Structure 1
Amino acid sequence: MDKVSFLQEKSTFHMKYPDQSDLAFYRWYTAQYPNEAIGWFHLGKEREAQGNSEQALEAYRRGLVSKQGPYDNETRDAYHRLLRERQRSSLGSRTRLLLASLLFLYFQFAFSPGPLRDGSSETIPQAAKQPVPTPGQTQPHVEVIAVPPTLSARELSEQVRRYVESRRPALTQPFTVMVVPEVPGSPLFRPLLFYQPREVRGILRYNPTSRTVISEKWWDKPVQLEREPTLASVKAELTDEQLTLQHVLILRNALYRYYQQTGTLPAQLSDLAGAYPGNYLPQIPVPPKRLLLKSYPYHPKAFLPESAWDSLRNVLPLPGYPEPVAPFEPLQLQLTTSTHTLKLISGSHLVRSYPVAIGKNDSTPEGYYTIQQKINQPRGHDNIYGTRGMVFQENGYALHGTNHPESIGSSVSLGCVRLYNAAVEELYSFVSLGTEFMISNAPSPAQPWSNPAPFVLPAGPEEETPQVIYNWLH
């Protein structure tokens, strides 16, 4: 429902019930239209105005799991703003308590001999200067697109030519298009950034400056990529590009979530890879060697709070490759309980898809959550939590590995989400603290997807909590 229709509903309500408040209307509206974010957004704002932040957060959460429509971005921004304000308030209370304690200690001991007076001052070392990277050299660009299975080789050639002539008008360097059979559930003739091709229908190399086809090859039937030697170099180029795209997406998402939780960007990228509980990332990705960069360029002064996500393209640019036609969005986890499928997405881009085990008797809670903690090697009896854990709700709900891989694909836990250990290690590398996690039991067909080569950022002992024995709802 758009804003005009919403205001008409509000006007009609107050004409019919002139003694009722705006709060009463918002409560009525969300009961009548529970899938419309606009109602939950205004209910949250009204709860905030009354000073009830917990009910406001709950209203914003409900709006975030509503169907796509107007006020999605406003609801998300309001939710994270309120989270930051609550965190700052909590930090302020702790700081005041600490200062009071220090003042008490000072007056107790300031005038007596002891370490408070005798200690020598220490010079705090300055942070090491970060190397200033040079722009990455332009790299061979490869796009993977899916096509209908019914097209002949001649029809493919014609349609892919039309695609390249209209799809990349801003490119000046020659690029390659790898054409694959239709991927169920994915769009046709649109770049599949994180899809690992198994079969190929054709390949075309195009020069956008002269608007000419450099070379092309087509097959009437799909051929196995591994068995086609002429495609080896293109496959290697695609692998390098996917790796760079993953690195940049991981870093941008971590920077965005850091900003959402703290209200600022880190001074340097290495601040994202702190010890638990500040471990947004296990490590900072290192650029592939062919980019000739020691580190990814980071320009925090280019950040614009009013367009936080969009400005990250300038804060952390994508070196060597063109930005995707369909822009990246912050990473988000989506669990469909009906198919036992967990997806990692970035806007319209599917990044990874994993089979999972969930809770029996609908014990995995439906709703909107965020990743609150990340633990390397979480302790539990018999290694029941596998090699990684990510808490998404305080009362015992987590995404974690398992020592029972045969359970994946079924409903057997007490509410947690289990993954294969290899999958949870990869997911742990992508997902930062604060990443959104949406759980829904809405019916949805299981869609096949071929993940790229496994990608894992090694986690270290500083991300472990050896003193804690977890009792998650395994």
Structure 2
Amino acid sequence: MEGSTDIDYLKTYVSKHPDNRMAWYLLGKAYEERGKEAKANYCFLQSGDVFEAFERKRHPLADEPEVLIGEWNRRRKRRTALRRAMLVAALLLLGLTGSPAAPEDRIGPAELRPGETVEEGQGKQRLTEGEEAWSMGTAAGLAVAFAPRGSEPALTALLSARDADYGIAAKMEEAGVWRRWDGDTRILLTVRRENGDGRWLVRTHDAAWCRCMPAETGDAPRLLREWSGLQEQRWTLVSAIAHYERLHGRLPRGLSELVRPYPDNMLSGDTPEMRAMLPELLRSFAKADNGTADSNPAENGGGDSSLGLPDGTASAASGLPDEPLRILVDTSRHRLAVVTGDVIVRVYPVGLGGERTPEGTFAITEKVKNPNGRDDGPFGSRGMTLSDTPYAIHGTDEPETVGGDNSLGCVRMLREDLEELYDLVPIGTEVVIKKGIVPAAPAVPRERFALEPQEDETNPGKVYDWL
């Protein structure tokens, strides 16, 4: 960072947030860049384990805070390019802004072994231009962190993840107070563990953020897409577990209690990945129920605080909410959004009934396939009843009416959108219908969310008369 405004900003920030250890670490790095080692050391000591996570060692003064700092400072040299790269990375995820870096500070990847001194690590900086893009393996060994919310635990988890060989830091497109899961996501940086010895290589990929020569992203976009698909399955499974527990007073014993024939079809199917996720999620829910973990959902979520997983779970560590999915229907814009916390997962166009569509908060109390006995009837191939009323989210045999006010009050959807939504949200999902609550425009996802159907979800014995 250049200029006094950066330090002033950080000083103001830590004065308002004295418990934010990441901010103390960043302020220490800023002082260190200017050669103010005594002030830097004070800040590093305040940052505690954040310093250890980024520097891969304890601070030399951590156990003897009253030793002469000046003597130690005189032996210290200016930080190498790795330290500057870590500062850039931390700033990205904390959401702080600074002046553009001077040309001599524009850097590429660098490396330093755990416990290696700055002097020993000199000369390992190298620019990214012309280098071969990384091959990063599979999403199974990947850690992901999203900026800007939840950035301190997210970045700490990214760089200190013991089970991950690769890491991606990304920033979702923003729409007001929302982050768009289905929008333009930018890959800010990637990290890769080297040779199993704990050493990390760091590469930045967004010139506008790092003020640097960005490296090729290589396999990172593909890996992020694969990881995102797993995260969507996780959100759906978390939602189903939470609503099952609320409705039945206990956790499900397995997927067989979530994937059942109509009318107990909490989920409309499953996947091998969901079957693998379930034991860990059930353990997390059980810990939250027993009071051994913080069961409050992520900040700014706006959902039911009695549902969802504790903040220490994988999604929370990635800077993502882990609350049950909710549905928001915007009657003024004719849009339906699926959200969790401050993240918009999907946005679809819908047809409504104008003043005949009721505003309020509902819940999905029934899910049924082929409500007219076939998949091309007036209600389409899927239907979801709202709070046992005559209102529902369903399909239509008049797709041209989607976007208008032609229904008698129900929510009409196009077939592909409806079938994806049906798989994405379980019975019990909250539905809020109101004007002006979905600012984001509809977007077609790169890949449709789909579960593997396991049970019969039709109800041929009933004639549906939704409005």
Give the TM-score taking structure 1 as reference length.
Answer: 0.55
2:190 touches 2:203 (CA, 8 Å); kept in 1?
yes
1:165 touches 1:211 (CA, 8 Å); kept in 2?
no
Q: CA deviation at 1:332?
A: 1.0
The counterpart of 2:378, out of the listed 361, 373, 384, is 384
1:307-456 aligned at under 5 Å gives the runs 313=309, 318=314, 323-360=317-354, 362-379=355-372, 383-442=377-436, 445-447=439-441, 451-456=445-450
2:308 touches 2:322 (CA, 8 Å); kept in 1?
no
1:143 touches 1:193 (CA, 8 Å); kept in 2?
no
| Partner residue, 2:242 | 256
- Partner of 1:438, secondary structure, is strand
Amino acid at match of 2:382: R
Q: Distance in 2 between matches of 1:443 and 1:353?
A: 12
1:380 touches 1:470 (CA, 8 Å); kept in 2?
no
The counterpart of 1:139, out of the listed 120, 138, 141, is 141
- Partner of 2:252, secondary structure, is coil
Q: Distance in 1 between matches of 2:286 and 2:459?
A: 35
1:344 touches 1:351 (CA, 8 Å); kept in 2?
yes
2:146 touches 2:319 (CA, 8 Å); kept in 1?
no
The counterpart of 2:228, out of the listed 214, 237, 242, is 242
Q: Distance in 2 between matches of 1:461 and 1:212?
A: 47
1:154-233 aligned at under 5 Å gives the runs 167-171=154-158, 172-173=160-161, 174-178=166-170, 182-185=173-176, 194-197=181-184, 203-206=188-191, 214-218=202-206, 230-231=216-217, 233=219
- Partner of 1:287, secondary structure, is helix
Distance 1:286 1:444, change over 3 A: closer
Amino acid at match of 2:378: I
Amino acid at match of 1:248: R
User: For structure 1, which runs of at least 5 residues remain unmatched after alignment?
Assistant: 1-135, 147-162, 222-228
295-304 or 384-393: bigger deviation: 295-304
- Partner of 2:339, secondary structure, is strand
Distance 1:139 1:364, change over 3 A: same
- Partner of 1:258, secondary structure, is helix
Amino acid at match of 1:273: V
Determine what percentage of the aligned residue pairs are the same residue: 28
> Which has a greater percent of helix?
1
332-341 or 302-311: bigger deviation: 302-311
Q: CA deviation at 1:405?
A: 1.7
Q: Distance in 2 between matches of 1:253 and 1:444?
A: 21
1:328 touches 1:349 (CA, 8 Å); kept in 2?
no
1:195 touches 1:451 (CA, 8 Å); kept in 2?
yes
Amino acid at match of 2:176: G
1:67-82 aligned at under 5 Å gives the runs none
User: For structure 2, which runs of at least 5 residues remain unmatched after alignment?
Assistant: 1-137, 210-214, 298-306
1:368 touches 1:439 (CA, 8 Å); kept in 2?
yes
Q: Distance in 1 between matches of 2:338 and 2:190?
A: 30
Q: CA deviation at 1:323?
A: 3.5
Q: Distance in 1 between matches of 2:253 and 2:205?
A: 49
Aligned length: 303
Which digits, 9 at most, give the CA deviation of each residue in 1:213-271, with x for residues without a partner?
622334579xxxxxxx9546212211221122112211111111111111112222221
- Partner of 2:456, secondary structure, is helix
1:342 touches 1:353 (CA, 8 Å); kept in 2?
yes
1:36-51 aligned at under 5 Å gives the runs none
Distance 1:433 1:444, change over 3 A: closer
Which digits, 9 at most, give the CA deviation of each residue in 1:58-110, with x for residues without a partner?
xxxxxxxxxxxxxxxxxxxxxxxxxxxxxxxxxxxxxxxxxxxxxxxxxxxxx
Q: Distance in 1 between matches of 2:139 and 2:330?
A: 40
Amino acid at match of 1:420: L
2:308 touches 2:324 (CA, 8 Å); kept in 1?
no
Distance 1:271 1:179, change over 3 A: closer
Q: Distance in 2 between matches of 1:420 and 1:217?
A: 37
1:286 touches 1:295 (CA, 8 Å); kept in 2?
no
240-249 or 168-177: bigger deviation: 168-177
Which digits, 9 at most, give the CA deviation of each residue in 1:444-472, with x for residues without a partner?
64546564521111446611012222111
Q: CA deviation at 1:195?
A: 2.9
2:348 touches 2:443 (CA, 8 Å); kept in 1?
no
Give the TM-score taking structure 2 as reference length.
Answer: 0.56
- Partner of 2:432, secondary structure, is strand
1:364 touches 1:416 (CA, 8 Å); kept in 2?
yes
